Structure 1
């Protein structure tokens, strides 16, 4: 079904944890009134809602804490207001008055111990849209434990040793990098988002211990423990010949330095993450963004191929390095690996979609197990719109399909949400577990502000229709460096849509994509013309201007002008 544009629930804070925390407070801590004679029964629920003026979508992630349920499951709750379910998925919904009942779909009648199902629904409401106060699973009240709690408990989620959560973001308080938060808070108006969680980037060997005044990996993990956080997001990003098609994010290791990558980069990171001290933290690793997609689109003898990417395809060090990282990090019980799938404007075309999924599957198999991967991430450090509310891939104008417009150019996807959900299904078809989840980086894809369309474009022709209605205001989908006009997107939120583990800010807003002119540095980062606002383009962006902001520092360094623009153009707006 086609969902209306997602809105952040008013009053929500720290979206990744707010809904879960609110539920714990609202549901109270009523002790289990009864337990199955054969087991210590129990369950926990994470309820996440996204509201707009008169409607909302919600996901109800319920985890069975008791013995396996084999004869079917039934989830029930009562709305406090006038909410009415209009449609649902991943379950069969019925409603009588305020009482809602969800039974398992035919393909999901069992629910193992610590297994989670996440039925979702769309509904209408007016007035207050409060979360339900209580939920039951097969008649057992879900309190988050397997027995009575007196006094009430609001403890953070914990995972049994060696057993990963189905969605690590569910119910988790996610780490806020204090150095990024300080930069954000120092900007006018930045304090409003300074408590949002962002990714911690390990982008060279020196970053592990800390370099140029930045905290090292242990520093971040220790601070997370001190803050009482549940989850830390770490970007692992230092492959040999890194980012072969974009000079701005080139790395320190040469194309053949796979040995150094393993022993000087991955091994030390694995040693730190595997420290028993951090066993209670969920650690999400985003492993080597942009690398494998480059081996699909930027190789061969075509006009978008590069010599560097051809070299990396031939030597196989991208595949070997990532497989090694997945193997070493995947062996740590509390680490959750997510692999990059580019974005819809990169791999959404038929020629790229399935072949890239096959490559990802091959590399996962090289690591020893598909189970080394928890999920996948799209739009990392990019600008693709989460949803396009004013046109869809199925629209046509005067008999001409939207796919034929210059902007879409025969792509099958127009936004990141539809792309992520379809890519997930492709990977499940390749053999990945059907519980894998997707992350979408929404740190810079809001595209709000005065230039944001308020309705569909004119129907004079298909290009006018798409260009007039698209919220992504880039000159071309291939533009990626410090884009002018961009805004903050949806705030980090757990389980916002079916198949989506979370919206995340992996790229910290305000950190540059690359320098707008050549700047000597000791970080291995080059100058890419796509970061120069005067650059006229190349075949990868259709020979269009770069759309980049001027006066940008090298990648990863604070860029105040960009942060201010992201804040002004935020969608949803920053309150």
Structure 2
């Protein structure tokens, strides 16, 4: 259970309460300049013999090229493992020093790290922290026994909402799946509920609204824990680089987004009736990465993305959503980070984390409104390329030099997600953030699945013959031929990963193969046309899309059948 307590250390006597939180009033008029550093220490999760903690340090003095944070425990706590810092401990005294990649700490900058620890008795709050020998103020903290109540407003969030919980099965998707020959094999799997227009919140004559889904979730919950997965997806000028998923709101309609979309969602989620549900919100798919890769002088830039970067409404919209939804104690926000074949290059990777940080600190939001990030949403990138490694060398050339990898740092979603988690912490997000990976359509099974690497004749033959992801190009994203269902939804499957999820409901189209009039604001994107010969975003390759596809979000029977045939693990 995540706990936050406020403890402000000043040059005056400390008054310790019964729970071990140190509290003192700051001197009148004390400002930031008088405080050399602040520390936010939180116990994210705790059990009878151990705990997980995160620490965020803000430096208000001169910029640093290296740093060390020290504190001492009053009890027998021992750091057993950690991340984003090098830990050492002598008796009760702990030192956390920078790693090589996060030693820079600017004036006003923050760095986060985390660790697992053991204890017996009482996990008492540390009361004094130093940064390079200088005593810091403490802003936040956590400790005490596992039954300690959270502070008002801190919520009752757990470290991983999927741990020990069932996940909501959308009855509408389940009925579509069950109606397909063989579909009963997967019709009981949990999938995301897409709130992709205002009417999706209220519901229509033919579609369940948000309250209807939450009421159904309460029925499925029973006496255990249940996660409900929502995709919050209706930004102004939405999806500025892909016409098939354009939305109903124009580029300037930020006020409508706030008052008619986000505010009603928050009102419903905040209903005490639903307080017992764990609600995961995947926030604005494919939005912020567009501002990095598809603007300015890049060959992939679009006028629509330039407009959205200039007017700031993606930043404002995501910030507003994180702020409002983050106020609901049982909501867990996960921000979309695209996929490795989009963001995995050096000039995209760090800037994407930075622009998400910008959004997460706008419109009243803070980094603490972000519980984690989601990768590969509605995409096809393989979970793990097991037949070759980014570190392999063939015929004198690195795998990174192959045509398929094309100097990317990552070959698959698992390595990308784990690396992005570290990058986000370096950018200032809490050390306890978790990752989700959408595995709904990245299985790539069937007869075309390779069983080993290709010939070592060249790095290209090696990679081409061994790659599990069989797309024509890693930039192809619409209704891909040959794709299969991926790993089934699962909690805590790998280090730093909260869950594999099916956030994109398999069998729901990415976009129509040809222009189809509709009242949902969804356009026609040539990347969904199987005859399209491509653009700079897929290096002018064929689109690889299936024919005869309906409008985005509508049921696509032929795709669903293909996904089942090519499922991996097989059905």
Normalised-by-shorter TM-score class: 0.7 to 0.9
Q: What are the within-5 Å matches in structure 2 for residues 223-238 of structure 1? A: 223-228=216-221, 230-238=226-234
Aligned partner of residue 173 in structure 1, secondary structure: strand
The SS at the match of 2:468 is coil
Match of 2:509 in 1: 512
- Corresponding residue for residue 275 of structure 2: 279
Any idea what SS the aligned residue of 2:509 has?
Answer: coil
Distance 1:320 1:395, change over 3 A: same
Secondary structure of 2:559's counterpart equals: helix
Q: What is the rounded CA distance, in whole Å, between the counterparts of 1:331 and 1:483 in structure 2?
A: 38
Once the 2 structures are TM-superposed, how far is the Cα of residue 418 of structure 1 from its aligned partner? 0.4
1:74–1:138: 8 Å Cα contact kept in structure 2?
Answer: no
Alignment of 1:15-414 (within 5 A): 63-64=46-47, 70-72=75-77, 162-211=155-204, 213-228=206-221, 230-366=226-362, 367-414=364-411
Partners of 1:378 and 1:422 lie apart in 2 by 11
Q: Which residue of 1 aligns with 2:494?
A: 497
SS in 1 for 2:230: strand
**Matching residue of 2:534:** 537
What's the C-alpha RMSD, in Å, of the aligned pairs?
2.7
**Which whole-Å deviations, capped at 9, do the CAs of 1:212-260 have from their partners, x for residues lacking one?**
6111000000000011161100000000000000000000000000010
Q: Per-residue CA shift, 1:178-222, capped at 9, x if unaligned?
A: 111111111111111111110000000011111361110000000
What is the DSSP-based 3-state SS (H/G/I as helix, E as strand, rest coil) of the residue aligned with 2:494?
A: coil
CA contact (8 A) 1:62 1:117 kept: no
**SS of equivalent to 1:503:** strand
CA contact (8 A) 1:244 1:294 kept: yes
Of 542, 549, 572 in structure 1, the residue corresponding to residue 569 of structure 2 is 572
Cα distance in structure 2, aligned partners of 1:435 and 1:478: 31
Mapped to 1, the partners of 2:415 and 2:402 lie a distance apart of: 18
User: What is the distance in 2 between the residues matched to 1:146 and 1:258?
Assistant: 42
Task: Give the Å deviation of 1:67.
Answer: 10
Other-structure match for 1:456: 453
Unaligned runs of 5+ in 1: 1-37, 40-60, 76-87, 91-103, 109-115, 120-135, 148-158
Q: CA deviation at 1:460?
A: 0.3
Question: In structure 2, which of residues 441, 460, 475 is the aligned counterpart of residue 478 of structure 1?
Answer: 475
Match of 1:5 in 2: none
**How much has 1:302 moved relative to structure 2?**
3.1
In structure 2, stretches of 5+ residues that fail to align are 1-17, 20-43, 52-72, 84-91, 97-113, 123-144
Distance (whole Å) between structure 2 residues aligned to residue 451 and residue 202 of structure 1: 35
Q: Deviations over 1:466-511 (max 9, x none)?
A: 0000000000000000000000110000011110010000000000
Distance 1:344 1:190 in 2: 30
Measure how far apart 1:64 and its partner are. Answer: 1.3
Q: Distance in 2 between matches of 1:393 and 1:288?
A: 30
Deviation at 1:66, TM superposition (A): 8.4
The Cα offsets for residues 71-110 of structure 1, whole Å up to 9 and x where unpaired, read as: 23699xxxxxxxxxxxx998xxxxxxxxxxxxx9x889xx
Map of 1:556 onto structure 2: 553
Q: Distance in 1 between matches of 2:78 and 2:436?
A: 28
Is residue 442–residue 485 contact of structure 2 (8 Å, CA) maintained in 1? Answer: yes
Q: Distance in 2 between matches of 1:117 and 1:483?
A: 41
Contact 2:79 2:116 in 1 (8 A): no
Return the alpha-carbon distance in structure 2 between the equivalents of residues 436 and 571 of structure 1: 28
Q: Deviations over 1:357-385 (max 9, x none)?
A: 11111111114311000000000000000
CA contact (8 A) 2:512 2:549 kept: yes
Say whether the 8 Å CA contact 2:76–2:119 is kept in structure 1.
no
Instruction: Quote the Cα distance in structure 1 between the aligned partners of 2:270 and 2:440.
Output: 29
Are residues 441 and 118 of structure 1, via their aligned partners in 2, closer, same or farther at CA, if it must alter by over 3 Å?
farther
What is the alpha-carbon distance in structure 1 between the residues aligned to residue 446 and residue 115 of structure 2?
38
Residue 394 of structure 1 deviates from its aligned partner by 0.2
Structure 2 Cα separation of the partners of residues 224 and 497 of structure 1: 27
The answer as to whether partners of 1:62 and 1:118 remain within 8 angstroms in 2 is no
Residue 162 of structure 1, CA deviation: 1.5
Against the structure 1 CA distance between its residues 553 and 432, is the aligned structure 2 distance closer, same or farther, given a 3 Å change threshold?
Answer: same
Distance 2:146 2:536 in 1: 59
